[in-house]
Structure formats: C-alpha cells, structure tokens
Amino acid sequence: MAKLPTRRDLFAFAGASLAMPALLAEQSESSPTAAPELVVFNGRIVTVDPRSPRAEAFAIKNGRFLAVGSNADIRNLIQRGTPTWDAKGAMIVPGFIDTHNHADGATLLYEILVGNPFEVEFVTVDSIIQKLRVRAAQTPPGYWVEGYFFDDTKVKDGRKLNIHDLDQVSKDHPVAVHHRGGHTSFYNSKAFEMADVNRSTPNPPGGTFDKDSTGALNGRVTDRAKDVFYKVGKRQNVTIENSGLNAQADSLQREIAGVAHISKMFVRYGVTSVHHEGGSLAAIQKVRANGDLKHRVSYEAAGKELDAMIAAGLQSGFGDEWLRLGATTEHTVDGSFSERTMALSVNYPGTNYKGNVTTIQDDLNAWVEKIHRAGIQVNCHANGDVAIDMYLSAFERAQQLFPRPDARPKITHCTLINDDLVRRMKALNAVPSLFTTYAYYNSDKFGFYGEELMKRCMAFRTLLDAGIHVAAGSDFSPGPFDPRMAIQGMVTRTGWDGKTWGANQKISLDEAIRVNTLNGAYNSHEEGTKGSITAGKLADYVVLAEDLYSIPVDRIKDAKIIRTVVGGTTVYEG
C-alpha cells in the first residue's frame, strides 16, 4: 500500500493539475484544515489508478478524494470528530460513466412503454394493442398514439408486429410503435394515409417502407423513411398534473420531471456521470437548482443549441463539474445495429441488403469540418464498417486542413471494425463509445449477423489491445444502462439466452471496470478530474455488496449496489 501521501504527492497525480481545487492547495498535513470530512476504511477498493490499483481506505474533503491508501495510512488522517465509515470489506469502485445516453426520463414517466426499459422481458402483441387502446381512448382524433421501448426479438408471439395489429388500436388516430433502438418504427394505416405514403411510394435515400410478401406496406419503416411521419399529426405533452393539451408550458415541466426522474435511476445503478444526447438544458439547470440533480452531466448539443454554441464561441469543456458542454450529439451516418439497418460492406447474411447510409460524404465532410473548426469535439454515430470509414475520412480531412491537438473525435457505437479502421482510429486518437449491455441484452439478435461478423462487433478486446481508449455508451433507450449488466457482457460475451457471440472480444474484469469508469472520463477530456479513485479527483464512487472478483461471472449483473456517492455526498442507498 502507498505511504501517506505528502503534499507534493497530492499535486503529482496524473493530469489533474488544471483541476486542482484551491482549498487543497491551501492545505498542509499539519494544518487543522487538512482534516478530512469523511474517512472510509476496510474497503476492497478497485481504484482504476494504474499506479496503485488496489486500496483499503480513502479520505474525502471538499467533495474530492484527499488521500487513498491502506487502512493504516488513512487512519493517520483521522482527527477528533472526523466521521468514519467502515465498509466491512465491501467492494468499492469509481462511479460508473455512461458516454452515450439519451436520458429521456419524460418518456419513462409519461409515455406508453410497450417493452421493459431495464430488463429482458417478453411481451405479447395483444398487450401492446391493449395499452395503446387505453391511450387512444384519452386522445383526441388526429393526435398521435405512440408506444415506446418495443423490441422485435422480445415478443412472445414469435412473429413480426404489423400494420394490421396497429389498425386494431385505432382507425382515427395515427398510431406508432417505436423500436427501442430508435431507427425503426411501426405505423397503422391512418399514419400512412396522413403521411401520404402508399405501396407505390419509392423508398427515400437512407430508409425503407417495408412490404409484405404481396407488396403491401407491412407497417415497418426504417431510418430516413420515418422523416415524413414527423411532419404530420399533433402530439400531446402529457404530464401527471394536466390533461396534456397546454403543450408549451407543459413541455418544460415534463422535461424537468423527466431529468429528475432519470437522475434518480442513474445513481440507483451506480452511474455518476452521463453524456446526455441533447435534451433541455433549461430543464437540467432547473433540476440542479432544485437540488435534484444527482449525477454529473456532459451535455452533448445538437440543433439550435449546437448552432448557438458555435455562434457564441462556446467550446467543449465549458461549464463546471456538474454540467459541462461535451462533444456534439451523435451526428448520424448510418442505421442501427440492433434493428439490423447499419451500413455493412457485405450483405446481411442470407439477404442482398447492406443496410442504410443516412448521409453523403460531402455533407459529412462539411459538418465535421464546421464542428472541428469551432473547437467542439466531433461525435458521429457510425455502426457499420462503411459508416466508420466515412466518418474517419471526414475527420482525417478536417484534421489535415485545420490541425488541432488532442481533438479526440468521438465515435458513437463504432460497432463493426476491421484492422484498417483500428489503425486509423489509433492514428487520430479517436474515442469510441461502444454498446455496453448489448452482449447480454441483445444476444437474440446476433444470429442476424452470424459469428464471423460478431467476431469484429463491439470489439473491446481488439480496441484495448490497440491502445485505444474505448468507453462504454449504453445508448439508453436502445440499451439498458445498468453497468453491471454491461460488465457481465464484456467479460463473458454471453447473452441472457445463454448464447455466446464473438468470444474473442472478451475482456478482463479489471478492463471492463476501466472501460466503464476511467475510459469514460477520457472520452470527454475529464480523466484529470474523475474516473478513478485517486487523490485530488472528485469523490464519485459506488459500493457493492459483493466482490465482483469472487462471484460467478454470470452473477455480476445481480450484485447489489448498496451506496452511490457523488462529490462525497451519498445520493443513493440500497
């Protein structure tokens, strides 16, 4: 164990010089102000700090780790009245970091959920119809009736949801069931009629109106073809407190309740930092002002917020330890892994379909250049090898024209790689955010790709071996965000159905914890302030009832979280 850190040691930890709080700088070991606010001892602490990977105890002051070491070292810091906490041998890890999350708490609170957001659960087509009928009965004609969190491979009926099912919900309302993956939706006849789409409507670039064997619309619509449905019909903003017809005011209320709700959910699962894909900045600030923001936010802007950042000269990194401007939201280059629309260089096995590319190279080049020149961290959604290649080409071009050190282009998903892509990612120091819970949750979909492709999908092993800072991005809603489910999938590559895919991409438990913590911090240039239990860093940590290293690997996802702490404050106790 490390000896008691001296004042010099406290300043010497890797990369944290910029973030050193003033108070720490004023302290010395002998001064009374050095007294910790809390000492935690008897822990099995996995620090994720390579210089000292294991510890027994730490002290906290001003929301940061003051010192980390052995029980004996840290007990020396205790002064009269210093509160202590005996971890009684519990495992303690740094707070988990999710680098890709749509964080849509309002949908969880107010919308019809036709599938389980958090767990593997099978539903029936009839249950979907019944839930939507109830909502239709409360909804004026012409307004959308929508269901969320549908998962096409978690249906007990063992068949595809179709337009006829949704016609049973209503003939007067447009009805949509959205796949949790976000790239495909299913519509009823009324919706197609309002969108003016029929069996002879051609597919737009980057999307499809799917047909049944007779050539009729079957209800499923993919990627860019969904755009026409956003332009028709009206939507209610239902909140608990009202009937939902006063859309403007209700919309912010809804967002505020949603952020507060999902913040509680995050810390329940030990997630202490989340990269938010857009959402209302005003709502996040209001929740923080109310004292209800329990996790730290790296805000990823899109649309008018991103335009405003560029216009105002706001760059990635602006903000503070709780709410900070991060990369952009995912700029979409192709389709979905789970919904089988991502852009492959080969046909999907047994088909002549290669997926959807949802942009063109010239547009992508122009967008990447604009963001990069503005000093904002670029982030593109690229799943298939074709899309990753397009994105890397666009970034290589931008970096050549306007070199910027340490730009860390973020690749959201980065699902199917090959050797050439890995070499180029390493050269750019790209930071991929891979799906995390999919290995466990979506194992029922990997047969659509087959083992040969799965050996190169969610390629944690290959990327770590190449020295790439691969991070965890649950992509909630598409994937559950539970880090325990994520870690189990990373170390086993075995799904809920007992099937194992791409076992060559397994990583160790140490590595999986690092992917879900320190590498997440690196993803947003925050490795100097968080991601490991290191003196000087923010005191964000999770206490687990069981030692993940001594339980069977297929039980990691069930290990109980007994405490989540953010900035030294307990935000969840289980």
Q: What is the phi/psi pair of residue 400, to 5°?
A: -70, -40
Written as six digits, the tokens of 47 are 């620090």
**Structure token digits, residue 437:** 């819970």
Q: Smallest gap, in angstroms, from Cβ of residue 48 to Zn ion?
A: 25
Closer CB to Zn ion, residue 364 or residue 544?
364
Measured from the CB atom, the residue of 98 and 540 that comes closer to Zn ion is: 98
* Nearest residue to 393 via CA among 366, 419, 356, 431: 366
DSSP secondary structure letters along 455-513: TTBS-HHHHHHTT---EE---BSSS---HHHHHHHHHH-B-TTS-B--GGG---HHHHH
Instruction: Give the number of residues in contact with Zn ion, rule: CB under 5 A.
Output: 1
Say whether 21 sits in a helix, a strand or coil: coil
Cβ neighbours of residue 315 closer than 8 Å, sequence gap 6 or more: 309, 325, 374, 375, 376
Residue closer to Zn ion by CB (options 103, 454) is: 103
Q: How far is the CB of 115 from Zn ion (least distance, A)?
A: 17
* Pairing between β-strand 184-187 and β-strand 207-211 as defined by DSSP bridges: unpaired
Distance CA 5, CA 534 (A): 11
Which one of the spans 29-37, 204-212, 313-321, 474-482 is the region binding Zn ion (CB under 5 A)? 474-482
> Which is nearer to Zn ion, 143 or 441 (by Cβ)?
441
Judged by beta carbon, residue 151 or residue 475, the one nearer Zn ion is: 475
- Pairing state of beta strands 323-328 and 561-566? unpaired
Contact pick of 389, 475, 482, 540 for Zn ion (by CB under 5 A): 475
CA distance 103 to 118: 13
In the complex, what is the shortest distance from the CB of residue 515 to Zn ion, in angstroms, rounded to a whole number?
A: 18
Pattern 102-121, binding to Zn ion, x per CB under 5 A? Answer: --------------------
Q: What is the smallest separation between the CB atom of 276 and Zn ion, expressed in angstroms?
A: 11
Q: Is the Cβ of residue 223 or residue 475 nearer to Zn ion in the bound state? A: 475
Shortest approach of Zn ion to residue 419 CB, angstroms?
26
Nearest residue to Zn ion, using CB? Answer: 475
CB of 442 to Zn ion, least distance (A): 14
Measured from the CB atom, the residue of 56 and 475 that comes closer to Zn ion is 475
3-state SS assignment for residue 41: strand
DSSP symbol at 340: T
Stretch that binds Zn ion, among 220-228, 279-287, 307-315, 470-478 (CB under 5 A): 470-478
Which stretch, 109-117, 290-298, 467-475, 483-491, contacts Zn ion (CB under 5 A)?
467-475
For Zn ion, the closer CB: 253 or 329: 329
36 versus 489: smaller Cβ distance to Zn ion: 489
The three state secondary structure string of 418-433 is CHHHHHHHHHHCCEEE
Dist. CA 97–CA 388, nearest whole Å: 23
Residues in region 244-273 near Zn ion by CB under 5 A: none
Tell which residue, 378, 355, 379, 517, has the closest CA to residue 436.
Answer: 517
Q: Write down the H helix ranges in 269-401.
A: 281-289, 303-312, 361-373, 385-401
Shortest reach from residue 329's CB to Zn ion, in Å: 8
* Site for Zn ion contains 389 (CB under 5 A): no
Q: Please tell me the distance from the alpha carbon of residue 312 to that of residue 71, in angstroms, as a whole number.
A: 49
As measured in angstroms, the least distance from the Cβ of 182 to Zn ion is 6
Stretch that binds Zn ion, among 268-276, 367-375, 442-450, 471-479 (CB under 5 A): 471-479
- The dihedral through the CA atoms of 38, 44, 47, 53 has a sign that is positive
* Least distance (Å) between residue 102 CB and Zn ion: 6
Candidates 130-138, 337-345, 453-461, 468-476: pick the segment binding Zn ion (CB under 5 A).
Answer: 468-476
From residue 407 to residue 426, the character string flagging contacts with Zn ion as x (rule: CB under 5 A) and all else as - is --------------------
User: Shortest gap between Cβ of 332 and Zn ion (angstroms)?
Assistant: 9
CA distance 333 to 306: 18
- Where does this chain bind Zn ion (CB under 5 A)? 475
